Chain A
Amino acid sequence: MAGTFLRVEKIDVFYHDFHALWDVSIEVEEGLVVSIIGANGAGKSTLLNSIAGVLRPSTGVIEFGGKKINGLMPYQTVSEGISMVPEGRRMFPRLTVLENLEVGCYIPKARKRKDEVLRRIYELFPILGERKNQFSSTLSGGEQQMLAIGRALMCEPKLILFDEISLGLSPLIIKNIYQTVRQINSEGRITALLVEQDIQRSLKAAHKVYIMQSGKIRLKGIPKDLSQEEIRKAYFGL
């Protein structure tokens, strides 16, 4: 165990004049599922986007595997081993399912292992194999979410970021998706950082949780050590 794998230290993020993250620090240890919970607008997605390089913190440091990664562009963090399943799935609608997956292994080192990784993803999500020649826009919401996860796995990341993966899906599908997340984590040995509005779902899936409210971390801990009362207060900022 390499200890801290991803370290976000005291970052501040702005959208023009709007101060979105205030002095946020989190630590993710290798092999864990870490969950960030918060209401809409709490800054969870901003945090994930900062890690992926989409947004730039104005102060603070983001370290991954001992290397400073803030300042990298999103296409560079992929090569460092960070992959993101973006909010709203963000398929490439005019590409087929297979082409979407192929774009997922665009970086040269991932291309070499394409066939093997693709086989594993079809095992994980057989439906993607059945529909590989369909346009991704013809898939159902749940299937698109599977495709988004499969696409993010194609580059064999060390860390995978899940942004609101249960948004707009039926409870049964959400359950399946979360099972897959755990499977990816335990069998694939991929560290996962997920952002979620659904408190119970998150607490069940994660080894460690952070609760955010108004751009700040309000509470952190291991799910079973936290009381409902504490969580509710942190979530609503009471």
Chain B
Amino acid sequence: MLSFLAELKGPIVNGLLLGGLYGIIGIGMSMIFGIVRMVNLAHGDLVILASYLSLVTMVYFHISPLITLILVIPVMCLIGFVIQYYLLNRVLGKGMNPPLLVAFGLSIILQNLLLLIFTPDARALLTSISVQTIPVGDFLNLPVVYLVDFIGSIVTIALLSRFFNRTYLGKAIRAASDDEGAAQLMGINTKTIYAIAMGLATGTAGVAGILVGMTFTFYPHTGPEYLIIAFGVVIVGGLGSLLGTFLGGLILGLAQLLGAHFLGPGFQLLSGYIILLLVLTFKPTGLFAKG
């Protein structure tokens, strides 16, 4: 029995850490879904765009990918703001399909642009921490990069949560998400607010992109894989709270690695989706949905 538990330690710890990364991948998607009520099909491609941006910056300045955050986050925020303000705001309020199609188009454009510039070769943000491990106890080697992912995710979500609860802008974003019309009556320009929210969400995609790039290899067309993970996180966690989304990520990561442990590596993705199906069946609003 004891050895059984000891054997499980590895997949559990790794699953939780991977789940932290999934949390940060999903958080931007969840924000836009909750605030602008729009499914951003380009979210995964924005994550990968950030990976490439980081790669270029890293090579150009000879710095660690973590330091490229200083440049990548503001650039991604700006890209998100512009996309929402000049593109998506035009089609909001015209039904479900137009924003979906615009985001889908954006996704195709981004993938092909990346393909054009960077060729279809596999890339990675290689650093010394990508290969290091920390031994924990006798049975467990913790990949440092997973730990960095987890901490990066928690820090980002804590900062976002502070922003939403403490600042006028954060409260205005939440108000616009509750009732757009009433928010306008309070003097809030909701179109600008949506653009700011998208800027923030894309900024989190920036953080996710760098962490993803440090952890896995990526190609111009890897975006949709992360879109699906983001979808999974949003569905499991449910809308309403940042913490819920993060926990959704943890559950998904845990489900994947425990599935891989018991059923074999080929079942990693499948076991994640089985959890997804179970949540959709028994609690379609998500496990931690609020309001």
Q: For B184, give the chain A residue with the smallest CB separation.
A: A74
A:101-141 near B, CB below 8 Å: 102-104, 106-107, 110-111, 137
Question: Is residue A94 within 8 Å, beta carbon to beta carbon, of the partner chain?
Answer: yes
- Cross-chain contact of B178 among A54, A92, A104, A107 (Cβ < 8 A): A92
Q: Chain B interface secondary structure, helix, strand, loop or mixed?
A: helix
Query: Cβ of A152: which chain B residues have Cβ within 8 Å of it?
Result: 185
B168–A95 CB distance below 8 A: no
Binary per-residue interface labels of chain B (172-212) against chain A in the complex, 1 for a CB within 8 Å, 0 otherwise: 10110111011111111110000000000000000000000
User: Across the interface, which residues of B come within 8 angstroms of A94, CB to CB?
Assistant: 174, 177-178, 240, 290-291
Q: Is the CB–CB distance between A95 and B171 below 8 Å?
A: yes
A95 to B290, CA, bound (A): 12
Known pairs A75-B184, A84-B185; A93 contacts B291 (CB<8 A): yes
**B168 engages A106 (CB within 8 Å):** yes
User: Closest chain B residue to A104 by CB distance?
Assistant: B186
Q: Give A93 to B183 CA distance when docked, in angstroms.
A: 12
Q: Kindly identify which residue among B179, B187, B240 contacts A75, using a CB–CB cutoff of 8 Å.
A: B187
CB neighbours of A92 from chain B (8 A): 174-175, 178-179, 182-183
Name the CB-closest residue of A to B182. Answer: A90
A window 150-175: CB within 8 A of B = 151-152, 155
With A94-B178, A94-B291: A74-B185 Cβ-Cβ less than 8 Å: yes
Report Cα–Cα, A155/B291, bound state, in Å: 28
Is A197's CB within 8 Å of the partner chain B?
A: no
Question: When A95-B171, A106-B168, A106-B172 are in contact, do A52 and B179 touch as well, CB less than 8 Å?
Answer: no
Would you list 28 pairs from A and B whose C-beta atoms are within 8 A, ordered by A residue? Answer: A54-B181, A73-B189, A74-B185, A75-B186, A75-B189, A78-B185, A78-B186, A78-B187, A86-B185, A90-B185, A91-B179, A91-B182, A92-B174, A92-B178, A92-B182, A92-B183, A93-B291, A94-B177, A94-B240, A94-B291, A99-B171, A103-B171, A103-B175, A103-B183, A106-B168, A106-B171, A106-B188, A137-B291
Interface residues of A, Cβ cutoff 8 Å to B: 52, 54, 73-75, 78-79, 83-84, 86, 90-95, 99-100, 102-104, 106-107, 110-111, 137, 151-152, 155
